[in-house]
């Protein structure tokens, strides 16, 4: 085996170990969510629903 091939194999091996470890690290470090939790409060300001404001938002009455 030439020195060049030996280096190639070594680099590939390191690459594989890195990828394997990365997904392992990801699994340990990250908590995965698809569905998020509901909030305790809204971060922006709140306004009450004014029915007139809603209906006036369109002149279209159907």
Residues that bind another protein (CB under 8 A): 26, 29-39, 42-49, 51, 54-55, 57-58, 60, 62
Q: With respect to another protein, which residue has the nearer C-beta, 4 or 38?
A: 38
- Smallest distance from the beta carbon of 57 to another protein, in angstroms? 4
Q: What are phi and psi of 23, to 5 degrees?
A: -70, -30
d(CA 19, CA 13): 10
Q: Which of 54, 20, 51 is nearest to 12 (CA)?
A: 20
Pick 1 or 35: Cβ nearer another protein: 35
């Amino acid at each position: 085996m030439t020195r060049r091939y030996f280096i190639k194999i070594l680099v590939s091996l390191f690459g594989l170990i890195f990828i394997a470890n990365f997904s392992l690290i990801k699994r340990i470090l990250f908590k995965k969510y698809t569905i998020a939790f509901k909030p305790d409060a809204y971060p922006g300001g709140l306004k009450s629903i004014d029915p007139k404001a809603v209906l006036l938002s369109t002149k279209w009455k159907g």
